Amino acid sequence: MKSIISFFGIVLVCFYSCAQQKPSKVEAKTPIKTNYTTQIVVPELDIPWGMEFLPDGSILITEKDGRLIHFKNDNKTEISGFPDVYVRGQGGLLDVKLHPEYASNDWIYFTYGSSEGEGTGGHTALIRAKIDGNQLVDIQHLYKGEGNTKKGQHWGSRIEFDNEGYLYFSIGDRGNRDVNPQDITRDGGKIYRLNDDGSIPEDNPFVNEENAKKAIYSFGHRNPQGMIKHPKTGDIWTHEHGPRGGDEINIIKKGKNYGWPVISYGINYSGTTFTDITEKEGMEKPLFYWVPSIAPCGMAFVNSDRYPDWNGSLLVGSLKFEYLERLIIKNKKVVKREKLFENLGRFRNIKLAPDGYLYAGVEGIGIVKIIPDSF
């Protein structure tokens, strides 16, 4: 009897160990109690896609429908002068990011749907500009994806700077799964890297490749709507929407192929398969993947004494299930997941502000501040 019990004990230990090696087996659980609540800071917003905090504590907010809003002293003011925004499907006015030296140069970067260029429809574009009063001025067009299309899917897009001052931004595959992501001569399904003035860094991975898009830094992506610099390592982390299953977290590396759609943990929305492999030589496997998909959007590392029990965690918004997910990561493996603020709404963005507090953009609600219960 003892030998039988020992045998089953070994089997159970092995099963548990093996399950922990598969990211999809880490289930998201609702904590019994959290020490934080939410407070609406900016009310009555529709789809607050991006936000940035200015040195005076005011907030710039991008509404997907094309409005750029400045929130200051409890007032919302629309900034005029933005280029025409092509709003279709998932596309519109997308992310906003301050230059790391904004205090001295006033540059602000935006990604948005643009109909400029050849063909009908639109593609993701990147500009930088300054604000003078309530007007956008000194607009500089830095990059525009080629191959306009009327498809509404997969525009991306997030913006981030690394520790060396390089600018990264994402464009989704624009609904052309079988062509764009794996072709470095085409835009879409890529992470791009530029100098802050829009010029191409000399050490970009494909600058010497004939006909390649020289701004590409990595490829084989589906629809990255989260991008953040790791506060300790300086690495650029992204997440992207999978199809039905297979949302991913990736650490972006120079010139690497992240596999879409050749490798994936997902299937078609119809339930049929489009690939039967999840790994292939020369393609990067994700650090983590979600099955079922949570439809991730926005991400932030917690690096603040305001949240001592969350420090080091990665926060990701869920559009599909309407909660904020906290992932605890050790040695580049997700070891625990938690569901926070369930049923509050579709979390479109999450940001750690200069004041050390977390702010989230929630569709149909606005910008909420995450505060300790004792606040």
Domain ranges of the chain: 32-372
Name the pTM for this structure: 0.93
Q: Which CATH architecture has domain 32-372?
A: 6 Propeller (2.120)
H-state helical runs in the chain: 2-20, 102-105
Query: Residue 202 and residue 195: Cα distance in Å, rounded?
Result: 10
- What region does 181 belong to: left with phi over 0, alpha with psi -120 to 50, or beta? alpha
pLDDT above 60 for 6? no
Q: Which residues contact 155 (CB under 8 A, 6 or more apart)?
A: 89, 90, 91, 94, 113, 123, 124, 171, 172, 174, 223
Query: Residue 356 and residue 174: Cα distance in Å, rounded?
Result: 35
pLDDT at 375: 60
Active site residues: 154
Report the sign of the C-alpha dihedral through residues 151, 152, 154, 158, in that order: positive
pLDDT at 33: 82
| Closest by CA position to 361, among listed 222, 225, 170 | 225
pLDDT above 50 for 14? no
Task: Assign 192 a pLDDT band (cuts: 50, 70, 90).
Answer: very high
Mean pLDDT of the region 222-250? 97
pLDDT at 7: 37
User: Mean pLDDT of all residues in the chain?
Assistant: 93
